[in-house]
Structure 1
Amino acid sequence: MKPVQKNDRLSVYVEDLTHDGAGVAKVDGYPLFIQGALPGEDVKVHVLKTLKSYGFAKLIEIEKESPFRVKAPCPVFDTCGGCQIQHLSYEGQLAFKGNMVRNAITRIGKLPDVPVHPVKGMDNPWRYRNKSQIPFGTDNGRVVAGFYESRSHNIADTDICLIQTMEADAIMSGLKQSLHEMGIEPYEEETHRGQLRHVVVRKGRATGEIMVTLVTKKKKFPQSERAVELIRSFVPEVTSIIQNVNPEKTNVIFGDETLTLWGKDVIEDRIGDVRFEISARSFYQINPEQTEVLYGQALEYAQLTGDETVIDAYCGIGTISLFLAQKAKFVMGVEIVPQAIEDAKRNAELNGFSNTLFEAGPAEQVIPRWYKEGKTADVLVVDPPRKGCDEQLLQTILKQRPGRVVYVSCNPATLARDLRILEDGGYRTKEVQPVDMFPQTTHCEAVAWLELAD
């Protein structure tokens, strides 16, 4: 029998946080997940739901408060799903993320002796996002915009977001007040009615260039000239205004057709000394300041002397590849998305790199062919999605056996799982460096350095 039942009210001690920021308390070994509770706190809770091996409870009262608890400055923190741990001081956030990475490496990777360094954080952990994807909708006839509530597609209406740029705030707030005047109806997901779906704002941190993309249901957009005029009045620094057309009944943001309404087709940014052209649909790291830290760490772990050939197995638009190309003899990048490869080639040309090769296709197929053609690597870099490396790619690494592997991860659990596989195949993990790319959220990136054992 479970030690707690639905509707029980009890006092518990919070031991830990989950990966999505809920407090964890245990009653006779039975975990209760409590949104809003922090480790080290004694709290009163109301049990909402009990399953076989865990339950959920609502925070009623904090009897003993964590020394790391702070008042969340965002007015919609309690409803918005964008941030999970604004109520935890930044010192506490870095400690939590360090423990999360360390625990994954120890428990999942079974690598308790691998050094995991303290998390590299930001001096100012606010206003760091260079891209905001803002949904628009209606609530009882009133235009709303902001971000989705946790685990839903209801919009938490707001005029400010403390992790996005002030320019994005100005555009979000200004358009919200102006849509009725322009005769533009916000899109409604359930009925598939309305015109304006999302507004996407991107800013180059190094250049200050700003792109605004209006995602509309139809290509016909008679209000476009007035929209351009208003956006430029809200933020005169805007350099590019784009329309993207998405007619599908889907929650995917972008459609296939993109048109330039005013200004340039792309904006430019720099990471370190490397320049990048960014189009409306280009993948580009959200936090450029910490991207420089993350890629700098990858470059350090790659131990390049200028004589090495490097393979970048998830190269995207070439961000890591071109960072490495500054120090490597030659860099080969592979990515499954053809448009990203075109962006990578263009960015290599933009920077004058002649020591790069980019090819579209699955890494687990392209890399073995490269090896058959004599294109071997001294260093292999992977930066996979949250699900981690494809199993075939891991087997390819173990078969081709490059001397050094640098693993850039956005998910400590899949990083630890993949490190275990590589360790069992003859590699040794020398160290892991976590980097905080997303302050105020529970996400943490990390870079691992592996060497082939003698």
Structure 2
Amino acid sequence: MQKNEIYETVITGMTDEGDGVGRVEKMAVFVPYTLVGERVRILIVKVLKHYAYGKLLEVLSPSVHRVKAECPYFYQCGGCQLWHMDLEAELEYKKHKVEDCLNRIGGICVPVQPVVMAGDQKRYRNKAQFPVTPEGIGFYRRNSHTVIPIEDCLIQGEWNQNIVSAVKVWMQEENISPYDEKMQKGFLRHIYTRAGNNGILVTLVTNGEDFLQFQSLKEKILQAEPRVIGITQNINTKATNVVLGQKNKTLWGKDHVTDAVGKTAFSISPMSFYQVNTTCMQSLYEGAAAFAQLTGREIVWDLYCGIGTIGQFMAERAAKIIGIEIVPEAIKNARENAKRNRIENTEYYCGKAEILAPKLAAQGMWPDVVILDPPRKGCDERLLKTVAELAPKRVVYISCKPSTLARDLKYLTAAGFQAEQIRPYNMFPRSAHIETAVLMSRT
């Protein structure tokens, strides 16, 4: 097999990233935009030692689950992977992905429950990040840092189109330079929006502090989108692809939005972690609370607690919630949220969970239930070791990456825990990502 050769193959599987997998000359070939069972014609674009990458040229025998992609940018933009697949197949693919990772990596054979689908497949995101580059404002092309200008993203709120259009006009009128990642020059790096039930917060990420033309921008944004309640500036002067810097300034209005999960309200600032799909988040938290089996007497550790969402959602069912989070602004929000919700049985600590957890245990704050909701990289092994030593009755693990979930569950299984229930949630429709909640109990 050589690069630029054309072959026919049958797609027999799918990767974690949503690509189809075929075989050519006994070698696996990964082909985006294909579905299991399809016969396709492909162009080989890259050949490595044990596998290759192909470009879809033609679908010769389409799957019954293939649909016309509603998004006009789907075959260019890297944001979504599954617009060509119907919902039935999407949910089955994600369930199988969780099963495969847990079995293959974690050695866990507990049946995975059907994927929970809560809310809409479109317009579900409450957060958007638009890179601003010399090529335009939009999203990154698949597997690149080249930006595709996009007028409207179908999984984002429609207000983003109004805000981005206003910023474009302002940049042209005021001669504002977009950030050039290669040259490390230019003023405006990203447009970042968060929506709550009280309005929209716009954050402008800039390569420098001076914002002399802000007044004209504010007028344009508010005229284009009256639901905006605050505009903030985030300063990021580092040569990095990390979106947000460490310094925030409130330019106008509020520096946060508020949102509610059930009857619990939360203040959300630009730096805070908050699930992007509010409707599905409520289903996830209700499921996690059921897994925790709280009776009102338990001490619950909420590790990687963010702004306190899941712990405060469960607070009325527990004796005490202890939250740990590394982001200072999120801990500030968590404390404010507890006060806002008149929740008095919470304590929050700022720092790395793997460092603070052993110290709290040494002070006698032993948990009955531990909630783990780490970032995509999963839990630090030191934290898993501490959790195992504390031996809580139950661990509820919430994960956005099945492979790291499987790795961590393997560790906890070896330490004496057993997976009892596994339930995926379709937090990110049309993408290959999946959220999963797992209940583990002591054996």
**2:391 aligned to 395, 401, 407, which one?**
401
Q: Give me the whole-angstrom Cα distance separating, in 1, the residues matched to 2:322 and 2:313.
A: 12
Q: Give me the whole-angstrom Cα distance separating, in 1, the residues matched to 2:249 and 2:328.
A: 20
1:54-453 equivalences under 5 Å are: 54-112=51-109, 114-139=110-135, 144-204=136-196, 207-453=197-443
SS at match of 2:251: strand
Give 1:20's aligned residue: 17
**2:37 aligned to 40, 63, 76, which one?**
40
Cα offset, 1:29, TM superposition: 4.2
Which one-letter code corresponds to 1:195 in the other structure? F
Which one-letter code corresponds to 1:119 in the other structure? V
Mapped contact 2:20–2:36 kept (Cα < 8 A): yes
Runs of 4 or more above 6 Å deviation: none
Cα offset, 1:327, TM superposition: 1.1
SS at match of 2:11: strand
Task: Assess, with a 3 A threshold, how the Cα gap between structure 1 residues 365 and 246 changes in structure 2: closer, same or farther.
Answer: closer
SS at match of 2:295: coil
Q: Give me the whole-angstrom Cα distance separating, in 2, the residues matched to 1:68 and 1:322.
A: 40
- TM-score, normalised via structure 2 length: 0.96
Cα offset, 1:311, TM superposition: 0.7
Q: Give me the whole-angstrom Cα distance separating, in 1, the residues matched to 2:404 and 2:86.
A: 27
Q: Give me the whole-angstrom Cα distance separating, in 2, the residues matched to 1:316 and 1:164.
A: 22
Question: Which deviates the most, 444-453 or 359-368?
Answer: 359-368
Report Cα offsets for 1:301-330 as digits up to 9, x if no partner: 000111111111211221111112121111
Note the aligned Cα RMSD (angstroms): 1.5
Cα offset, 1:159, TM superposition: 0.7
Task: Assess, with a 3 A threshold, how the Cα gap between structure 1 residues 301 and 75 changes in structure 2: closer, same or farther.
Answer: same
Which one-letter code corresponds to 1:419 in the other structure? L
Which one-letter code corresponds to 1:105 in the other structure? L
SS at match of 1:146: strand
SS at match of 1:321: helix
Which one-letter code corresponds to 2:142 in the other structure? S
Report Cα offsets for 1:330-380 as digits up to 9, x if no partner: 111112233322221121111111101111222233222222222111111
Q: Give me the whole-angstrom Cα distance separating, in 2, the residues matched to 1:150 and 1:302.
A: 39
Q: Give me the whole-angstrom Cα distance separating, in 1, the residues matched to 2:401 and 2:247.
A: 32
Mapped contact 2:118–2:283 kept (Cα < 8 A): no
Q: Give me the whole-angstrom Cα distance separating, in 2, the residues matched to 1:120 and 1:218.
A: 44
Cα offset, 1:432, TM superposition: 0.1
Question: Mind listing any 5+ residue stretches in structure 2 that lack a counterpart?
Answer: none
Q: Give me the whole-angstrom Cα distance separating, in 2, the residues matched to 1:248 and 1:105.
A: 38
Report Cα offsets for 1:83-123 as digits up to 9, x if no partner: 111111122111110110011122212122x1210101134
Report Cα offsets for 1:363-416 as digits up to 9, x if no partner: 233222222222111111101111211111111122111111111111111111
Which one-letter code corresponds to 2:129 in the other structure? Q
Q: Give me the whole-angstrom Cα distance separating, in 1, the residues matched to 2:184 and 2:86.
A: 41
Which one-letter code corresponds to 1:134 in the other structure? F
Q: Give me the whole-angstrom Cα distance separating, in 2, the residues matched to 1:160 and 1:36.
A: 21
Q: Give me the whole-angstrom Cα distance separating, in 2, the residues matched to 1:359 and 1:258.
A: 22
Task: Assess, with a 3 A threshold, how the Cα gap between structure 1 residues 389 and 247 changes in structure 2: closer, same or farther.
Answer: closer
Q: Number of residue pairs matched?
A: 443
Which one-letter code corresponds to 1:68 in the other structure? H
SS at match of 1:73: coil
Which one-letter code corresponds to 1:292 in the other structure? Q
